[in-house]
């Protein structure tokens, strides 16, 4: 078990729904997360990989959807997801200028996995998401290589670290230290428990706008460290997983509710920010079945989506706070630094 102190350990309770066992996206059965961190004097970056299923995801596709709230981003793979409504690859998060290199590594990994099952992969749609960590990281070095992606995949587990790790190493959130954060909620539907989990890569927001539980702590922090307050820009990637039976259209609706969590924390979704949400469900597996013309799937009654909407909003809010509170102070390229939220949480 990770021994990191998360936002709940500071007495801050987000929302009303019960949490999953780990309070992470990996509470959805089969989901795992791995990191590889590059931490040198000039490189503060890395890669984080989400493994969505224990089975070969290419031959056992999952239903998926995306939503772009503000599209200042360089992600790969969203066009096909929006057209076909399915996920067929592992998901990788990294920095802006490393998207292409990470994409190549994921393609190679998926081809290798296909060979193990005697599946010839001639086309594949990897999902690669990014945020720009150039404030702390010499991004032009493009330090993330194939071996780092493979290392992150190999390290994938249920109880993963958060904060300034993996893709989150060089990220900033509300002009404090950001990075990887996660949370989960459990909802009851038809007497059955379903899990909703969120993982974020946070790199967005303005310090003065930061609010926690309705209290504008950002203004107080800004005064304490005499910080400049630039525009609300940057990006945040939000990956939502659930075992609730949702179709692609419903998952698209679910994606939009991540914006509620961001707004609660004070984000205004600025012109120069990229808010990209992606969601998948493990409830229906689209198995490769040559010759089969129909597939049997089940979906949630539309009237019962409110519980899932609330779960996503709560998870998003808590995941962002976890990304900040678990991160330490980081000093990177050109001597630039980002302070950790944990040093100011007493101001609430």
Q: Catalytic site residues? A: 235, 273, 275
Contact by Cβ (8 Å): 280, 63: yes
For residue 293, count CB atoms less than 10 angstroms from its CB and return exposed for 0-12, middle for 13-18, buried for 19 or more: exposed
Please state at what angle helix 99-116 crosses helix 146-154, rounded to 10 degrees.
Answer: 50
Phi, psi of 338 (to 5 degrees): -130, 130
Residue 66: partners with Cβ closer than 8 Å, 6 or more residues away = 78, 81, 82, 252, 255, 276, 277, 278, 279
Phi, psi of 293 (to 5 degrees): -100, -15
Residue pointed to by tokens 């609300």:
232
Residue 210: partners with Cβ closer than 8 Å, 6 or more residues away = 174, 176, 216, 217, 218, 221, 265, 266
SS3 195: strand
Phi, psi of 87 (to 5 degrees): -115, 130
Contact by Cβ (8 Å): 302, 247: no
Q: Of 59, 161, 149, which is closest to residue 105 (Cα–Cα)?
A: 149
CA 119 – CA 60 distance, rounded (Å) = 12
Terminus-to-terminus CA distance in the chain, angstroms?
Answer: 28
CA 66 – CA 251 distance, rounded (Å) = 8
Q: Of 230, 204, 238, 248, which is closest to residue 61 (Cα–Cα)?
A: 248
């Amino acid at each position: 078990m990770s021994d990191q102190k998360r936002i709940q350990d500071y007495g801050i309770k987000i929302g009303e729904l019960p949490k999953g066992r780990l309070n992470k996206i990996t509470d959805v059965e089969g989901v795992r997360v791995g990191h590889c961190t590059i931490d040198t004097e000039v490189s503060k970056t890395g890669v984080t990989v989400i493994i969505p299923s224990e089975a070969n995801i290419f031959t056992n596709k999952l239903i998926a959807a995306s939503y772009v709230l503000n599209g200042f981003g360089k992600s790969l793979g969203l066009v096909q997801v929006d057209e076909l409504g399915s996920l067929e690859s592992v998901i990788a998060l990294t920095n802006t200028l490393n998207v292409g290199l990470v994409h190549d590594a994921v393609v190679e990994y998926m081809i290798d996995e296909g060979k193990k099952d005697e599946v010839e992969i001639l086309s594949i749609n990897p999902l690669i998401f990014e945020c720009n960590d150039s404030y702390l990281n010499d991004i032009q070095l493009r330090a993330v290589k194939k071996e780092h992606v493979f290392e992150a995949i190999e390290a994938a587990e249920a109880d993963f670290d958060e904060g300034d790790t993996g893709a989150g190493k060089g990220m900033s959130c509300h002009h404090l230290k950001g990075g990887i954060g996660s949370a989960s909620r459990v909802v009851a539907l038809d007497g059955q428990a379903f899990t909703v989990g969120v993982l974020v890569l946070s790199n967005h927001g303005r310090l003065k706008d930061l609010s926690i539980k309705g209290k504008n702590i950002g203004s107080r922090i800004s005064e304490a460290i005499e910080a400049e307050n630039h525009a609300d820009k940057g990006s945040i990637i939000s990956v939502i997983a659930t075992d609730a039976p949702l179709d692609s259209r419903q998952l698209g609706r679910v994606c939009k509710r991540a914006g509620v969590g961001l707004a609660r924390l004070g984000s205004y979704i600025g012109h120069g920010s990229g808010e990209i949400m992606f969601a998948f469900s493990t409830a229906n597996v689209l198995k490769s079945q040559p010759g089969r013309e129909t597939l049997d799937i089940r979906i949630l009654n539309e009237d019962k989506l409110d519980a899932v909407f609330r779960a996503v909003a709560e998870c998003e809010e808590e995941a962002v706070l976890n990304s900040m509170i678990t991160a330490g102070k980081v000093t990177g390229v050109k001597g630039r630094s980002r302070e950790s939220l944990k040093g100011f949480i007493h101001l609430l």
